[in-house]
Amino acid sequence: MGRRLKIVIFSLVGVTLVVAFIFLASGMSPASFFQHLLNALQWGSFYALIALGYSMVYGVLMLFNFAHGDIFMVGAYIGWGIATGLVALGMRGILPLPNWLILVLTILLAMFFTSFVGMLVERVGYRPLREAPRASAAITGLMIGIILETGNLALLGAQRRNFPSLIKTQTYHLGPVTVTNVKIMIVFLSLLLMFGLHQFVRRTKWGMAMRAMAYDFVVVPLMGVPMNTIAALTFGLGSALAAAAGIFFGIAYPVLEPYMGILVGWKAFVAAILGGRGSILGAALAGFLLGFIEIFVAAIFPSTLRDVIAYSIILLILTFRPHGFFGEPYSARLRL
Amino acid sequence: MEVRGSTVSPAETMAGNALLDEVRAQLAQIPLLGWLCGTLLATAVEQTVGESLAKALSLPAIPGLFGLRIILSPLFEILLAVIQYRRDIPGLVASLKTIAPDLALIPGAVAFILLVYILPTLIVARLSAPLTNRLAKWLLDRFPLWVSLLLHLGLFYATLHLWGDISEYRMLILRFILISIILTLSLNLVNGYMGEFSCSHPGFMAMGAYASSVLTVLFFVNDDVFGAPLLPPAIGPFMFPLALIIGGLVASVGALAVAIPSFRTRGDYLAIISLAFMFIVKSVIENLEIIGGPRGFMNQPKWANLPIVFAWTAICVWMIYNFTRSTIGKASCAVRDDETAAGAMTINTRRTKMVTFLFAAFWAGVAGGLFAHVMGYINPGTFGVLKLSEVLAMVYLGGLNSVVGSIAGALGLQLLMEVLRPLELWKWIVIPILLIVLMIRRPTGLIAFTEVKIEDLLRPRQTLRSSAQVPGEGR
């Protein structure tokens, strides 16, 4: 217990130091700094939610789920479908619901359905290949991602979709800093989901099984832990979080397109690795860190340099901490 | 290879096993030299009478890719029409009527394949078998291996050249296939022989492409940005290999940036670092205005014609084949299997990994340089995640740790992508599904961990008569 507390305190102090350093080095006014900080929190929460899915799959199965970015996209589209449908039903007077209820239903239902998409991906692309070289599963993941993108394009067409605006944006002025209720909601709900996941993994029997599987996936199934169920559960949970991220993304930037998952997905993947194998706290922190880096680089330097600087910082961190923030060196033999 | 697969037609399979065995026995007597003579003659036939034959068979022109697209695209169109007009029968009929003329071309295309490719190849290969067997034996007995190898390569190149000479399209496809062979082989060195998972090949390719393009444009082309050529353009084609090599070396230097931090530990570490590196390269190029930034870089002289690309591919296959059988290639296999044990056996694991990685990056850079000088235009968007998926799919489709597998993977996937082009958008659903099914059926790829020995490939095959008379004399 003492060690975990130490880790949390250490990371909080570290984050504070980094933020303070950026503040001092950039020479921004406090107002614009806090404005960027808020944007970074929102942007980072997308990365963090998606990175959690990568990190869990990687922790439990030691496999990269390269389709995860596209599951995020599918989640956003499922959310869009549910929200648009419910709004249309309300307009016709068949099922008039208040907007906040539509939002809650959209989030819950989209998470539910997208988790089945994730389980399907596991069943089709990963379970048959569990004994195969690990890279083969990476290929099937990549291919499933392409199928999801193209399938979406073929079914729904190339035009962009607008996410219905469910909650009215209210702007609060806290001195010079402007805050919208949407931003607060997104950050708050993301943190809530992460906390919920953490509690699930720490407190429940299923979570214990997942942690055990991450510890040793050869011996633990012999102890009677159902490997297939746990693998499906891992994919399902990760996909549900990705769906939530997709809906939040749709609310914040209300344009959906079939290829929106690629860039965000790969960046979240890098964040997941940066956090350390299978570490929930690490993935969340690294996601927020990536958000901070990107927003602040774009604020200080020309925004085209964003990727160069963000990835260079990541390379630098990985050079000194090869296993990420909270990853432990593992000696499991590669199954390549 | 193409011809050999299609020699047994379905009708013959129906006729029973006896006939099949007879055909197989007949074909088994033909050495590689015979097949090459056969395909060479077939392409010569196409050169001379192809045009008029196509007209006689009421085809608009000589079919581009063995007529496969003429055969497949009406079928795809029917499928798409059925999907589109599920409930609308008159609409379905109307759209089927527009497809009908295309459908009528199919018999002509099949006849063209039979008459131009399969029949001449089979007849010439079989009839010349006694002669080519003797020639192959004489070549192998009297001369060193490379004489025979060069003769085979020359014949193969002649076939390719004659075949590609028919249209620009074929030339382009051939060169793309050859370039992807280089790329696939070099990635196989890292992901297969070294057992790591590298994602940075598009980045190395971009570095090679941009470096060699800058050199050729700076020295030999009158360009808006770089000004008048520094050297007379006439000597350009002779300096082109130098530009390619420098491009490859630049990619190797870039590879150092990945290798130095990532080879301290093992695991999936390289995957992440190389992925980040790929994004960095793409992003840096997008920010360099002098080489066009996100708009791309053009005006490269199109020097990478078929002989050049073929020669580079042959050199690459030869070098990588030798590399895998050299001490350092075997050492890197040992590192893959167990790094600690390899270290205990006095292998310098770090150096081995470095050398292999840099060597692979060099060839990726050369492939990029060739690619730039085939297209005459490159932009950073080309070298992104999509390219990565493509190369990875080629490597794992073909099979790890196999030069032949890599060649098969590159050839197979490129041909598949060209053949399925009429599907348009659905292509990107069909190809991934095919690859997933293939990965599930054969998780290690088509031809993994096996190698064809060149001696076996070139040796004469025993004829039925001689094997009956003197058993055991054939080899």
Q: How is A178-229 classified by DSSP, letter by letter?
A: EEEHHHHHHHHHHHHHHHHHHHHHHHSHHHHHHHHHHH-TTTGGGGT--HHH
Percent of chain A surpassing pLDDT 90: 31
Q: Give the integer Cα–Cα distance in Å for B110 and B11.
A: 14
Q: What pLDDT is stored for residue A78 in this prediction?
A: 94
CB-CB neighbours of B148 under 10 Å: 25
With both helix axes pointing from N to C terminus, report the angle between B105-112 and B89-103 in degrees, rounded to the nearest 10. 30
Chain B environment of A143 (Cβ under 8 Å): 389, 393, 432-433, 435-436, 439
A153 interaction partners in chain B (CB closer than 8 Å): 425
A103-144 per-position pLDDT tens digit: 999 999 999 999 999 999 999 989 988 887 777 888 899 999
Measured between beta carbons, the chain A residues lying within 8 angstroms of B271 are 64
**Residue contacts between A and B (CB atoms, under 8 Å):** 123
B373: alpha, beta or left, given left = phi > 0 and alpha = psi -120 to 50?
alpha
Q: Which two tokens stand for residue B232?
A: 């007379």
> Does residue B119 or residue A4 have the better pLDDT?
B119
- pLDDT at residue B201 tops 90: yes
| Mean pLDDT of the B453-466 span | 71
B439 to A136: CB separation less than 8 angstroms, yes or no: yes
Mean pLDDT, to the nearest integer, of B135-144?
A: 85
Q: State the complex-level ipTM.
A: 0.85
- Domain spans of chain A, in order of start: 49-160+172-261
* Class of residue A67 by CB neighbours under 10 A (exposed 0-12, middle 13-18, buried 19+): buried
Q: What is the per-residue pLDDT for B185?
A: 94
Model confidence pLDDT, tens digit, residues A189-248: 999 999 999 999 889 999 999 888 887 778 888 888 898 999 999 999 999 999 999 999
Residue A322 with chain B: CB contacts under 8 Å: 264-265, 269
**What ranges in B143-267 are assigned the alpha helix state H?**
145-164, 168-188, 201-220, 236-262
Confidence of residue B468 (pLDDT cuts 50, 70, 90): very low
Q: Is the pLDDT of residue B411 over 80?
A: yes
B7 contacts: CB under 8 Å, gap ≥ 6? B23, B27, B118, B122
The tokens of A100 are what?
């906040």
Q: Please tell me which residue of chain B has the smallest CA distance to A314.
A: B276
- Per-residue pLDDT band for B30 (boundaries 50, 70, 90) equals confident
pLDDT for B464 beyond 60: no
CB of B441 closer than 8 Å to CB of B407: no
Q: How far is B156 from chain A (nearest CA, A)?
A: 33
Residue A216 touches chain B, beta carbons under 8 Å: no
Per-range mean pLDDT, top range of A29-33, B24-28, B290-294, B386-390:
B386-390
pLDDT, mean over chain B: 84
Mean pLDDT of A256-283: 86
AA letter at B460: P
On whether the CB atoms of residues B133 and B473 are closer than 8 A, the answer is: no
3 state SS of B297: strand
Q: Specify the pLDDT at position B58.
A: 79
Pick the residue from chain A with its C-alpha nearest to B429: A147
Q: How confident is the model at residue B3 (pLDDT cuts 50, 70, 90)?
A: very low
How far does B420 lie from chain A, in Å, by closest CA? Answer: 15
Strands A177-180 and A255-256: unpaired
Closest chain B CA to residue A302: B287
- Quick one: closest CA in A to B284, which residue? A308
* Minimal CA separation from B426 to chain A, in Å: 7
Residue B5 pLDDT greater than 80, yes or no: no
Q: What is the pLDDT of residue A336?
A: 30
H or E element at residue A49: helix A30-61
| Domains, chain B, ordered by start | 2-144 (no CATH), 167-444 (1.10.3470)
Q: Which residue of A lies nearest to B192 if distances are taken between CA atoms?
A: A336
Mutate to test the interface with B, among A64, A142, A152, A309 (most CBs of B within 10 A): A142
CB nearest A311 (choices: B279, B435, B440): B279
3-state DSSP of B398-460: HCCCCHHHHHHHHHHHHHHHHHCHHHHHHHHHHHHHHHHHHHHHCCCCCCCCCCCCHHHHHCC
Burial (Cβ within 10 Å: 0-12, 13-18, ≥19) of residue B105: buried
The residue with greater pLDDT, A118 or B446, is A118
Q: Is A142 on the interface with B (CB under 8 A)?
A: yes
pLDDT of residue B90: 83
Percent of chain B with pLDDT over 90: 29
What pairing do the DSSP bridges indicate for beta strands A171-174 and A177-180? antiparallel
Which alpha helices (H) appear in B189-231, and where do they start and end?
Answer: 201-220
Over the stretch B243-261, which tens digit does the pLDDT of each residue have? 999 999 999 999 998 888 8
pTM of the complete model: 0.86
Q: What is the mean pLDDT of residues B361-366?
A: 96
The predicted-structure confidence for A71-106, as pLDDT tens digits, reads as follows: 999 999 999 999 999 988 888 888 788 888 889 999
Predicted confidence at residue B359, as pLDDT, reads 95
Cα–Cα–Cα angle for B177, B178, B183, nearest 5°?
95
- Residues of chain A contacting residue B283, judged by C-beta atoms under 8 Å apart: 304-308, 311
Q: Which of B3, B105, B107, B96 is nearest to B46 (CA)?
A: B3
Structural contact between residues A249 and A288, judged by C-beta atoms closer than 8 angstroms: no
Contact B393 A128 (CB under 8 A): no
Q: What's the average model confidence in pLDDT over B118-141? A: 85
Residue from A61, A148, A269, A336 whose CB has the most chain B CBs within 10 Å, to mutate:
A336
